[in-house]
Chain A
């Protein structure tokens, strides 16, 4: 059974810092990995999708990497802003629909 773990559970940083969120998964037989953002009381917004054959994807200040063989992904956020404050969720798709981690709650302090 696929299990997804996200570390840290919560993170608080001053504005302008670069930061890394970690995601690990137990079964490396995946089709893709997706990073989402969730604001309080809201649904999930897709940030980046990495196919199993890819090593990384970039969108603006966000960069996500994937090491499928070791079951790890990282989400790098450059020059963090208070508007980046949210919960970030990692999810993997294998032979089952998306399996999610519990998320990392990020606070960027102005």
Chain B
């Protein structure tokens, strides 16, 4: 089977830093993605990791450890507009190369 787990909900304060964790067990691995999704809208791409380590892009950073089946998304200098769902997704490689999404984390940023 395939499992991609995230905390269901998180709350953080404007201006602070928040880390959203993702653990995965999949039949194959060909990269891990993080997406942001506002209610009723399509997901928007945030980051992509295929090798171990930290990828930084502005206020957002993503980390991957393939041996541990673990990733996190780090959001710095939180803004109110960062309130959204954050989805971790693993591409399983192979012939289909399909993208499997995690359970998603609903982040609420408070003043």
A and B interact:
no
Interface residues of A (CB under 8 A from B): none
Interface residues of B (CB under 8 A from A): none
